[in-house]
Amino acid sequence: MKKKPLSNARLAALDQLQQVLDHGANLGETESAGSLDPRDRAYAQHLAYGTLRWLSALDWFAGNLMNRPLKNRDRDIHRLVLLGLFQLWKDGTAGHAAVNETAGCAKKLGKPWATGLINAVLRRFQREQEDLTVRLESREERFAHPAWLLKALQQDWPDDWESVVRANNLAAPLWLRRNTTRDSDGLAARFESEGLRVTAHPATPAAIKVEPARPVRDLPGFGEGLFSVQDGAAQLAADLLDCEPGHRVLDACAAPGGKTGHLLERTPDLQLLALDRSKARLGRVEENLQRLGLEGAATLRAADALDSGDWWDGNPFDRILLDAPCTATGVIRRHPEIKWLRSPGQVDEAVELQGKLLNALWLLLKPGGMLLYATCSVLKRENSGQVQAFLERNADAAESFPDVSWGRPARPGRQILPGEQEMDGFYYAALRKTG
């Protein structure tokens, strides 16, 4: 049955929360706000992102403000309370609007009995906010991270974990990548003419930051393929691979195609094969290449990188990009749901798959060629630990990392922590085949 369109931004935000927390959806792909006007759609997204960003702290507030927990069948009411608390605590929404509009949503859900409850809880928070926030400061919930992830960050980054947590709890800036195959030199001037601030990135020449952030499709030049949305950290991959015209290149886990497009923009005339297990996700790669004017510049194949017998022609590659499946713990500021959807067991699964991919793809690399291993994780088991284990079991593999000004040595590889040079958390290791 088709969903009834939602006309209320707070209800739309609630629906997004339900999709994420009950069904494991990616917040950026939830669709409940699609029927709203652009302003309300943006506000719904803002509320959903903010509530997920501070979820454990908001839950702690709610637990202290409610006489007893709600039953499971009323978790929608509990989440309305969280939405209201976010508005009052972090959003600066006018108190009467946050209370009245949020409480009024209960009636629209067919639960008029909850209107008074929500109203009472939110008004009590207004009265007790100062005391509650002081008490929160002595609680682990103030970090708004699950306990297992907080422990992992403390273990891996004993001197930096607090800055990582702070960065994770902030909204990420909007970074774009100029399409250098098209006339994008005047892009910054077009943005500035519309009142936007534009800043270049010192580490990668095609990157520009745009403030304040806008829906990407509303920016001039998007339809013309003059730019792509891509964080500065992700843009480093194309430079590190250092491809030359004519090189045979494998992008082993290509979707949604950001790095594929960048490789082709940076180095025309590559023999590039882009793989992805998902045919649907590979369709996004094709769409992105079409918009950038790169249709037909790469061979796209829906296939599992582990099963090379199904897709490899037997000719080794000069360059392999393994942007490996990972926990994505380096991009939490863009996807706050990651904090609540990941588990220690998923870390184990990611580490196992990464190791298998490294082993399988190494066999397809030419002697003297390079495999670039990349993740958007900050967990050492997926990064330096993974690569060190690979180097120990492959005598023909050697780290070959250029002298760069970004990130920090990870021994082996190089790590960017979230927020450093305004970039996402990312890890890179450049591996040369010596034999």
Q: What was the pLDDT predicted at 35?
A: 72
Q: What residues are labeled active site?
A: 376
Nearest alpha carbon to residue 293 among 231, 209, 223: 223
Per DSSP, 365 falls in state E
Domains observed in the chain? 9-143 (1.10.940.10), 174-216 (3.30.70.1170), 232-433 (3.40.50.150)
| Buried residues in 26-57 as b, exposed as e (16+ CB within 10 A) | ebeebebbeebeeebbbbbbebbbbbbbbbbb
Which H or E element spans position 122?
A: helix 113-136
Please report how the helices 279-291 and 258-266 are oriented relative to each other, as an axis angle in degrees rounded to 10.
40
Distance CA 50, CA 219 (A): 24
> Residue 1: helix, strand or coil by DSSP?
coil
Q: What was the pLDDT predicted at 11?
A: 96
CB 401 within 8 A of CB 183: no
What parts of the chain have a pLDDT lower than 70?
Answer: 1-7, 31-34
Residue pLDDT, tens place only, 304-314: 999 999 999 99
Q: What was the pLDDT predicted at 32?
A: 57
Entry pTM:
0.94
Q: What was the pLDDT predicted at 193?
A: 95
